[in-house]
Amino acid sequence: MPGTPFAVVHLDVPPVASGLAVGSLVAGVTSILVSILVVCFGAVGGGANGAWAAGAFAALGGLTGAGAVVAGLLGMRQIRRPAPPPAVRFTGRGLAVAGVSCGGVGLLLCLLGVGLALLLVLAQ
């Protein structure tokens, strides 16, 4: 501050990748991998046992997919929020968008796998 004996220093804080965005991407990829198991159990599973296994994995895939979508949207909100100079700025919008899209694809694949399992059980 000019004219005073005190000086104010603002240290430049480098931007940090958002943890919500990274977690969203990890959960989204996990949701896709689990949904592949759902489709496999739904298509190959032997009768009602395959449908039960597909349903159990679909619950896990659905939860991780929904978590990925929510965490990605919260991460995009965190990244979009402006921060004054001494505060930490967040980056990783691409990670958040990829997490939301992977979570959505995982949810759709889980629904497809459960539908396939139910269709094959009812066709027997």
The predicted structure's pLDDT at residue 75: 96
Q: Mind listing the pLDDT tens digit for each residue in 109-120? A: 999 988 888 888
Burial 85-101 (b: 16+ CB within 10 A, else e): eeeeebebeebbbbbbb
Neighbours of 108 (CB within 10 A): 14
pTM summary value:
0.84
Domain ranges in the chain? 36-81+96-124
Confidence of residue 4 (pLDDT cuts 50, 70, 90): low
Tell me the per-residue pLDDT of 23-58, one tens digit each, with 9 for 90 and over: 999 999 999 999 998 888 877 876 677 778 888 889
Q: What is the pLDDT of residues 8-22, one digit of tens each?
A: 666 777 889 999 999
Inform me whether the pLDDT recorded for 60 exceeds 70: yes
Q: Which residue, 61, 75, 73, 66, is CA-closest to 32? A: 61
Phi, psi dihedral angles at 109 (to 5 degrees):
-65, -35
Backbone phi, psi, residue 91, to 5°: -125, 180
pLDDT bracket for residue 74 (50, 70, 90) = very high
> Using 50, 70 and 90 to split pLDDT, how confident is the model at 83?
confident
